[in-house]
């Protein structure tokens, strides 16, 4: 366990050293790297919740992952979501906002964990688990007068989430954490009833939220076992903010056709959520927040952001 944890921790520290080392650069470059460096330092401080490991062990009825493999997986995912957010925040600030959505189902690689899987006799279990891992990453460019922290609070709030994401049935807070119930996606995932452990980070130019499932109902009709870790970050840019989102989710084993259909459904869902967020932001900029809760299907929507000259977003 210590071998895996030290490897992933050292990788984050190496990225932090690289980012902070650039902070001696003058002007804008220093502010760009300060944003990324603050994000990496915060991510490195996030605690490991033992309830995540308990949930991982529920995936295999015959062969358990074992503590080393479970901790290694959690640490590797954590390292990847934080590193990706830091790299993209700096890239957005230096090169401009270039929107994209990328959905990868079953092809995510974690080569650092293969030796542990072989040593612990969980090679096939690990192989099956990886085949059903869904990785979603997105960058979106939003026009708004609001700052990163205000937009993050709007984006994660029940009012917006339940209006923008049709799969969400209910959201509430209890002793387990921030909880929600969602509908299933036919051929992809069953309905879920889960609670997330939430951590937030905020600076003048960036606001972020880390979320990880720590409780899963696990009984019919809900997903019997569930892993999810995500990071949402909003970075201030000229004329608005850029959203970077990365999420790892473990779903049921998927065939080739189900992967293709599932990837398209996830991509469409992400784009629709961003379009709805941009619409809410435009209404708030106009001083009409109440209209955001009463969508007009005939009103003009901003559409999916497209890259313009030099990577800048255009309408």
Q: Please indicate, yes or no, if residue 85 is contained in any of the structural domains.
A: yes
What's the CATH number where 247 sits?
3.30.530.20
One-character DSSP codes across 222-291 = S-SS-EEEEEEEEEEETTEEEEEEEEEEE-S---HHHHHHHHHHHHHHHHHHHHHHHHHHHHHHTT-GGG
Q: Please indicate, yes or no, if residue 187 is contained in any of the structural domains.
A: yes
Residue 100: strand pairing partners? 139
Distance between CA 275 and CA 45 in Å, rounded? Answer: 33
pLDDT in tens, 109-142: 665 676 777 776 677 777 777 777 888 999 999 9
- For the chain, the average pLDDT equals 76
118 in the Ramachandran plot: left (φ > 0), alpha (ψ -120 to 50) or beta?
A: alpha
Q: Tell me the angle at which helices 67-95 and 27-44 cross, rounded to the nearest 10 degrees.
A: 160
Q: Which helix (H) or strand (E) holds 169?
A: strand 168-174
Q: Please indicate, yes or no, if residue 128 is contained in any of the structural domains.
A: yes
Q: Please indicate, yes or no, if residue 314 is contained in any of the structural domains.
A: no
Range of the domain at 245: 2-295
How many C-beta atoms surround the C-beta of residue 255 within 10 A?
10
pLDDT in tens, 33-60: 778 888 999 998 998 888 888 777 776 5
Domains held by the chain: number: 1
48 vs 315, higher pLDDT: 48
Question: 195 is written with which tokens?
Answer: 């609670």
Q: Please indicate, yes or no, if residue 262 is contained in any of the structural domains.
A: yes
Work out whether the CA dihedral 150, 139, 8, 254 comes out positive or negative.
positive
189 vs 246, higher pLDDT: 246
Q: Please indicate, yes or no, if residue 126 is contained in any of the structural domains.
A: yes
Per-residue pLDDT at 199 = 95
Q: Please indicate, yes or no, if residue 112 is contained in any of the structural domains.
A: yes
Considering the entire predicted model, what is its pTM?
0.79
pLDDT in tens, 250-278: 765 555 545 556 677 788 889 999 999 99
Q: Please indicate, yes or no, if residue 310 is contained in any of the structural domains.
A: no
């Amino acid at each position: 366990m210590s071998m895996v944890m030290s490897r992933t921790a050292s990788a984050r520290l190496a990225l932090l050293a690289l980012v902070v080392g650039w902070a001696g650069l003058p002007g804008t470059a220093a502010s760009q790297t300060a944003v990324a460096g603050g994000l990496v330092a915060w991510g490195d401080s996030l605690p490991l919740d033992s309830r995540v490991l308990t949930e991982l062990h529920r995936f295999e009825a015959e062969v358990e992952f074992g503590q080393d493999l479970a901790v290694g997986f959690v640490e590797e995912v954590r390292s990847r979501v934080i590193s990706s957010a830091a790299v993209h925040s700096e890239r957005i600030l230096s090169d401009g906002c270039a929107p994209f959505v990328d959905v990868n189902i079953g092809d995510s690689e974690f080569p650092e964990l293969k030796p542990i899987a072989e040593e612990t006799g969980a090679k096939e279990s690990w192989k099956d688990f990886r085949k059903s891992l869904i990785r979603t990453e997105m960058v979106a460019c939003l026009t708004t007068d609001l700052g990163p922290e205000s937009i993050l609070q709007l984006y994660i709030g029940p009012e917006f989430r339940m209006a923008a994401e049709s799969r969400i049935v209910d959201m509430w807070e209890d002793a387990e954490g921030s909880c929600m119930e969602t509908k299933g996606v036919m051929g992809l995932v069953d309905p879920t009833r889960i609670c997330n452990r939430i951590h937030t980070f905020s600076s003048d130019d960036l606001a972020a939220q880390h979320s990880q499932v720590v409780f899963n109902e696990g009984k019919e009709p809900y997903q019997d076992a569930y892993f999810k870790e995500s990071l949402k970050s909003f970075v201030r840019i000229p004329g608005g903010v850029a959203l970077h989102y990365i999420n790892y989710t473990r779903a049921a084993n998927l065939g080739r056709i189900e992967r293709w259909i599932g990837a398209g459904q996830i991509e469409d869902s992400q784009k629709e959520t961003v379009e709805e967020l941009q619409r809410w932001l435009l209404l708030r900029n106009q001083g009409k927040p109440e209209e955001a809760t009463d969508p007009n299907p005939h009103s003009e929507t901003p559409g999916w952001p497209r890259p313009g000259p030099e990577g800048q977003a255009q309408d």
